[in-house]
Chains A and B, each alone.
Chain A
C-alpha cells in the first residue's frame, strides 16, 4: 500500500507542476468565460457599419416611408445606420440595375434596393450588394419594406395598420420547468448548463485518459518501467498511476468549481458592466439543482476510472504514440458516440432508446448525466447505470492488469488484437 502511495504521489506532483496543467487550469475557466460572454458582447456591438443604399422605387409610393422605417436603425454612437439615396426609376430597369451595380462596385453605394412598380400587388423587390452574408441586415431591410408595403395594402382595403398590428400580435408563451423544487422559469439556461457540463465531462475524460496513456507509454519507452517493476507489482504501478491522475483531475475540478461559483455569483455583473443591455439568461447556473453537480462528480469519477483503465491498456500494448493512436480507435469511439447521441436524448430523454443507451456503461457517464440534468430519471435507472458502470470498470481493471503486466515489458512489433487476448492467459 505504501508503494502505491509513492506512485500516486509521484504522478500527482509530476503532473500538477507541469506547464500544461497550470495553463489548462487557468485557461479553462477563461475560455469558458470568453465562450459565454463574448457572443453576448459581440451581438450587442454588432451592426456597427454604416451603409449607403440607393433605393429605386418603381411604384413611387413606398420610398419615403421605407427611408423613414430604416431611419430607426442606429449605429453605436447614435448616428443613423442607413443613408438612403433615392434614385428615380429609368425606362429600362435592367440597364438601370447594371448602372447601379457599377456604382456599388465603385464604392458609391453599399448596395441598392430595387422596388418594382407592382410591389403592392405582389412584385418581388431586389437587394444587391457586394456582400450578402449579413443575414441580419438583409432581414432588417426585408422586414422594413414588408412593413411599409403591408401598411399600404391594408390602407387600400380601408384598414388601420396600427390596429391590424395590434390584433395580429403573437401570443407570448413562457416555458416553465416543473421539478421537485416546484415551478421555475426556464429561459434556455438549463440547456446551456447541461451542454457545458457534459462537454466538460467529455473533454476531461479525454484529457486525463490521454495523460494516462502518455504516462504509461513514457515509462515503457524510457525503460524505467523495468526498474520500477523490480520493486512493485505491475498492478500497483497501474493503479497508482490511475489514482494519481484522478487526484490531478479532482484538483483541477476544484479550482474550476471555485471559479465557476465566482462566475455564477459575479459573472452577471461582469457582463452587465461590459454590456449593460445584455440578457443574462446564460447565467442561470444558480437555478440548476445542486444534485446535478453531485451526479456530475460521481459520473466524472466513474467514467474516468473506466476510460483511464482502457487508456492504460492501450498504452501498455503499444510501442509509440502512433501505434497508440491506431489502437485507441475503439476507445475514442466509446467517448465520441454518446456526444453524437446527445441531441436525440435531449429531445426524448425518457424514450426506451434513451434509457437503454444511458445504461450502457461506456455511454452512461455522458448520457445518464445528460438525462439527470434534463429531468431526473427513475432512481432504479440511475442506480442501475452506476452499478453497471462500477462492475464493468472492475472487470476492465482485472483484464487490463493482465494485459498491462505483459505489454509493458513487450517491445518490438505492434501486437495484434488476438495476441493481446492471448496475453490475458499468461501465467
Chain B
C-alpha cells in the first residue's frame, strides 16, 4: 500500500528536551489516520515536522512518495488545534489570502471558496469581518481554509472541539467524503470514541515515542475479547476483590471491566447477579480509551 507520509527514525530536540525520539510511522494513503497521545506527547511537533515548519534533527520524512520539501506545502492542508485568523480582515479576504499562499491561482480561488462557503451555509458572511463571527463559524471558516486548495493530505488537530452536534456531523461527513475521494486525513484528538468511529489506522505517541501503531481493528483484536461492557444499577465496588478482574473503569452507571488472562466472564456475571441490577452485559474487545489509558499509564510508571 502506498503511504502518504513516512517518518523514519525522526528525532527532534529543543535544547536539552527531546520532543520526538526515534519516531517511525507510516500513514497509508486514502485513509483516516488517528494520531493519538496525551498532552505534551510530541503530536504537535510531529505534525509541524510533517508540514516542514520545523526540521527534524535526525531521520527522514517522506511525503506522497517524495522526500518532504517546501514545494509539498501546497498539497497539504492543516487545521491547527490553536485556531486563529486575522480578526480585522473580511472572511472572503482571509480565505483568498490563505488560498493564495497555498498557490491557488487568483482565477480559481473564488469558485472554490464560494463552493465551500455554501456547503457550510456561510455565504452571507463572506463580506463580514472575522471578528464579527461566532467561535463556531470561525472554526468552519478555518476548516475551509484547510481544504480550499484541494490538498491531498489533510491534517486536522482536534477538528470537532467547540462544534455543536449538527456541525460535528457535517464536518465528519465531509471528512469521510474527502477520504472517499482518495485524500489522506490525519486526525489528531483526545476523544477516543471519535477515533474509534472514524479512523482506519492509528498511532499512539507517548513521550515522543510511538507506543502503539497499526490498523485499529487489528490492534483491538490483539487485545482480545477479554473486556466486559457492563451497564448496571447499584454498586460494583466489591468486584475489585474478584480474582478474575484485572482492572475496572467505573463510570457509575456503566463500567468497563478488564479480565485477567484466562479468567472466566461467566463467574463475574454470577457474582453480579442478585447484588446489582444488570442492564447490559457484553463481552467485547477493549475500547480504545482503555487501551490508551493502559498504554500511557504503563509507560508513566
B48 within 8 A of A: yes
B90 CB → nearest A CB, Å: 11
B174 within 8 A of A: no
B85 and A229 form a contact (CB under 8 A): no
The stretch of A65-73, A217-225, A245-253, A341-349 that contacts the partner chain = A217-225
A231 within 8 A of B: yes
Q: Given A6-B97, A228-B101, A223 and B84 touching (CB < 8 A)?
A: yes
- Closest residue of chain A to B55 (Cβ to Cβ) is A427
Other-chain contact of A227, B15, B57, B145 (Cβ < 8 Å): B145
- Interface positions of A from 1 to 59, Cβ below 8 Å from B: 2-3, 6-7, 10, 14
Other-chain contact of B53, A7, A10, A218, A230 (Cβ < 8 Å): A230
A14 and B102 form a contact (CB under 8 A): no
Across the interface, which residues of B come within 8 angstroms of A417, CB to CB?
none
Across the interface, which residues of A come within 8 angstroms of B85, CB to CB?
222, 224, 227
A224 and B73 form a contact (CB under 8 A): no
Across the interface, which residues of A come within 8 angstroms of B128, CB to CB?
none
B83 and A223 form a contact (CB under 8 A): yes
B269 within 8 A of A: no
A422 within 8 A of B: yes
Query: How far is it, in angstroms, between the C-alpha of A30 and the C-alpha of B77 when the chains are bound?
Result: 49
Q: Given A223-B82, A426-B14, A230 and B73 touching (CB < 8 A)?
A: yes
Q: Given A7-B101, A227-B98, A427-B57, A222 and B15 touching (CB < 8 A)?
A: no
Number of A-B contacts (CB under 8 A): 72
A3 and B14 form a contact (CB under 8 A): no
A222 and B48 form a contact (CB under 8 A): no
A10 and B97 form a contact (CB under 8 A): yes
B97 CB → nearest A CB, Å: 5
Using an 8 Å CB-CB cutoff, how does the interface string of B118-158 with A read, 1 for contact, 0 for none? 00000000000000000000000010011000000000000
B89 within 8 A of A: yes
A238 CB → nearest B CB, Å: 14
Which of the listed residues A6, A225, A234 has the most CB atoms from chain B within 10 Å of its own CB? Answer: A6
- Interface positions of B from 223 to 269, Cβ below 8 Å from A: none
Query: How far is it, in angstroms, between the C-alpha of A97 and the C-alpha of B256 when the chains are bound?
Result: 105
Query: How far is it, in angstroms, between the C-alpha of A20 and the C-alpha of B72 when the chains are bound?
Result: 39
Query: How far is it, in angstroms, between the C-alpha of A13 and the C-alpha of B77 when the chains are bound?
Result: 26
Query: How far is it, in angstroms, between the C-alpha of A224 and the C-alpha of B146 when the chains are bound?
Result: 12
Across the interface, which residues of A come within 8 angstroms of B145, CB to CB?
227
A409 within 8 A of B: yes
Other-chain contact of B51, A223, A224, A225, A230 (Cβ < 8 Å): A230
A231 and B102 form a contact (CB under 8 A): yes
Other-chain contact of B73, A14, A219, A232 (Cβ < 8 Å): A232
Query: How far is it, in angstroms, between the C-alpha of A37 and the C-alpha of B142 when the chains are bound?
Result: 53
- Closest residue of chain A to B80 (Cβ to Cβ) is A226
Across the interface, which residues of A come within 8 angstroms of B22, CB to CB?
none
Across the interface, which residues of B come within 8 angstroms of A7, CB to CB?
101
B160 within 8 A of A: no
B54 within 8 A of A: yes
- Closest residue of chain A to B45 (Cβ to Cβ) is A409
Across the interface, which residues of A come within 8 angstroms of B51, CB to CB?
229-230
Per the CB 8 Å criterion, the residue count for chain A at the interface is 26
- Closest residue of chain A to B94 (Cβ to Cβ) is A224
A232 and B101 form a contact (CB under 8 A): yes
Q: Given A227-B80, A230-B51, A422-B15, A222 and B73 touching (CB < 8 A)?
A: no
- Interface positions of B from 100 to 126, Cβ below 8 Å from A: 100-103
A228 CB → nearest B CB, Å: 7
Query: How far is it, in angstroms, between the C-alpha of A427 and the C-alpha of B54 when the chains are bound?
Result: 8
B76 within 8 A of A: yes
A233 within 8 A of B: yes
- Closest residue of chain B to A426 (Cβ to Cβ) is B14
B2 within 8 A of A: no
B145 CB → nearest A CB, Å: 6
Query: How far is it, in angstroms, between the C-alpha of A10 and the C-alpha of B78 when the chains are bound?
Result: 21
A227 and B84 form a contact (CB under 8 A): yes
B281 within 8 A of A: no
A405 CB → nearest B CB, Å: 8
Which of the listed residues B48, B53, B70, B98 has the most CB atoms from chain A within 10 Å of its own CB? Answer: B53
B88 within 8 A of A: yes
B271 CB → nearest A CB, Å: 50
Query: How far is it, in angstroms, between the C-alpha of A409 and the C-alpha of B70 when the chains are bound?
Result: 18
A217 CB → nearest B CB, Å: 13
- Closest residue of chain B to A408 (Cβ to Cβ) is B53
Across the interface, which residues of B come within 8 angstroms of A14, CB to CB?
86, 88-89
Across the interface, which residues of A come within 8 angstroms of B101, CB to CB?
3, 6-7, 228, 231-232
Query: How far is it, in angstroms, between the C-alpha of A232 and the C-alpha of B78 when the chains are bound?
Result: 12
Which of the listed residues B56, B73, B79 has the most CB atoms from chain A within 10 Å of its own CB? Answer: B73
A409 and B55 form a contact (CB under 8 A): no
Q: Given A6-B97, A227-B98, A230-B73, A222 and B87 touching (CB < 8 A)?
A: yes
B103 and A2 form a contact (CB under 8 A): yes
- Interface positions of A from 285 to 330, Cβ below 8 Å from B: none
A409 and B48 form a contact (CB under 8 A): yes
- Closest residue of chain A to B87 (Cβ to Cβ) is A222
Query: How far is it, in angstroms, between the C-alpha of A231 and the C-alpha of B151 when the chains are bound?
Result: 12
Across the interface, which residues of A come within 8 angstroms of B78, CB to CB?
226-227, 230
A300 CB → nearest B CB, Å: 27
Other-chain contact of A229, B15, B53, B88, B89 (Cβ < 8 Å): B53
- Closest residue of chain B to A410 (Cβ to Cβ) is B14
Query: How far is it, in angstroms, between the C-alpha of A302 and the C-alpha of B84 when the chains are bound?
Result: 33
B70 and A224 form a contact (CB under 8 A): no
Which of the listed residues B51, B82, B87, B145 has the most CB atoms from chain A within 10 Å of its own CB? Answer: B82
Query: How far is it, in angstroms, between the C-alpha of A223 and the C-alpha of B54 when the chains are bound?
Result: 16
- Closest residue of chain B to A6 (Cβ to Cβ) is B100
Across the interface, which residues of B come within 8 angstroms of A219, CB to CB?
84, 86
Give me 8 A-to-B residue pairs in the complex whose CB atoms sit less than 8 angstroms apart, sorted by A's number: A3-B100, A10-B97, A219-B86, A222-B87, A226-B53, A231-B101, A232-B101, A233-B70
Given contacts A218-B86, A230-B80, A419-B15, 12 further A-B contacts (CB under 8 A): A2-B100, A3-B100, A6-B101, A14-B88, A222-B85, A227-B145, A230-B53, A230-B76, A231-B98, A232-B73, A232-B101, A426-B14
